[in-house]
Amino acid sequence: MKSINLFAAIFSLSLVLLFGCKEIIDHPVNPDLPEVVPTPCEGISPSNLWLLKQISGWSKGAVSILSNEEAAKMAIFVAVFTEEDSENQYYGVKGEYTAQLKKTFKNLQDFWDINSDNIIMVAAHGSMLQDRDKVIKVYQAEYGYRFEKANKYADSLATLFKTYPEYLNGSHPFFTFNAYAHQQKNYPVVGQVKDKIIFGDAILQPFDALGYGDIAPQAILAHEYAHHIQYDLGIKDYGIPLTPAGSRRTELMADAYAAYFLSHPRGAAMQWKIVQRVAEVFSYLGDCDFESELHHGTPIQRKAATEWGYKLANNADNKDHIISSREFAVLFDADLKNIVKN
């Protein structure tokens, strides 16, 4: 029973952790979104099984943190609220993804037509959770706690790390198993926070272990960058309630944006066999939680969206031409019903 409960916790948390997106509105070109209809769906993905393996052997008390959403997101939000310099960042525990991600980020900025001057890319390391002042700032800015309460919660987190050595003082992959596109916003305590893409140390580790280390960094970054395209176009924004259909639409569209860039001769220029592997990466990040407001689309639908983006680039009459980000969204919305039929 303990294993079953742990499985359920990891599966549900994956919807919150992976590509967490909190703000969605309907794009004006497609106000009537296809209904989310339950279909036969695969179980837990290889990437989440990797995380499950990292947690196996934890004590009963240590496992309790799996339901603590604030702790799971803390390292990511530390990066959101305290990292302002993109130049001196390293990605991965040993910096193993740094060169690949920085090169891809520059290529994405050159490729798409949005104003990207205000977007910075930063890393979230588990070691950040040892900085008490930064943790307090997160509790104040993100969760709205007064200083006294934020201080108390920071004490509680520090106590957890001392109590359970399994957490590795915050450096366990559980705490950085995330990539996140943050939209510019003004917060209490910290003020204006820029548009950011945050990469947790652990988000790429399972894909490296599964043999996708050569393409997963580019794929996941291109997906997160696509969310900033959606922010720019008004497809995503703060203050609008999430819905399963709305979340699925923006996540599948982000997969398609990513595949178009990765396939395009002026983008990453990946060939079909490589794009098929990208589709596998995105499929591992799909889910079968059809009633969740964070539903990202099924593994099959995420593959279909990736293939759609590839075909748009590959079948173009003028393969050197890059369509506008807005035209891309219109074309995607026009075909969304076909994509989600898969």
Give me the phi and psi of 180, to 5 degrees please.
Answer: -150, 135
Give the per-residue pLDDT at 238: 77
Give the per-residue pLDDT at 173: 97
Q: Is the CB of residue 206 less than 8 Å from the CB of residue 47?
A: yes
CA separation for the pair 131, 83 (Å, rounded): 13
Burial class, 342, CB count within 10 angstroms (exposed 0-12 / middle 13-18 / buried 19+): middle
Give the per-residue pLDDT at 249: 95
How distant, in Å, are the alpha carbons of 27, 107, 109, 197, 282 from that of 102? 30, 9, 11, 12, 21
* Residues sharing a CB contact under 8 Å with residue 321, sequence separation 6 or more, in sequence order: none
Q: Is the CB of residue 93 less than 8 Å from the CB of residue 128?
A: no
CA separation for the pair 22, 168 (Å, rounded): 29
Q: From the CB of residue 24, how many other CB atoms can be counted at a distance below 10 Å? A: 24
Give the per-residue pLDDT at 30: 56
CA separation for the pair 210, 225 (Å, rounded): 24
Give the per-residue pLDDT at 113: 97
Give the per-residue pLDDT at 19: 43
Q: At which residue do the structure tokens 């104040």 appear? A: 140
From first to last of the 342 residues of the chain, give the pLDDT tens digit: 333 344 445 544 544 444 444 444 445 445 689 999 998 887 788 999 999 999 999 999 999 999 999 999 999 999 999 999 999 999 999 999 999 999 999 999 999 999 998 999 999 999 999 999 999 999 999 999 999 999 999 999 999 999 999 999 999 999 999 999 999 999 988 999 999 999 999 999 999 999 999 999 999 999 999 999 999 999 988 776 789 999 999 999 999 999 999 999 999 999 999 999 999 999 999 998 999 998 999 999 999 999 999 999 999 999 999 999 999 999 999 999 999 998
Give the per-residue pLDDT at 3: 39
* Residues sharing a CB contact under 8 Å with residue 311, sequence separation 6 or more, in sequence order: none
CA separation for the pair 273, 190 (Å, rounded): 45
Specify the pTM.
0.92
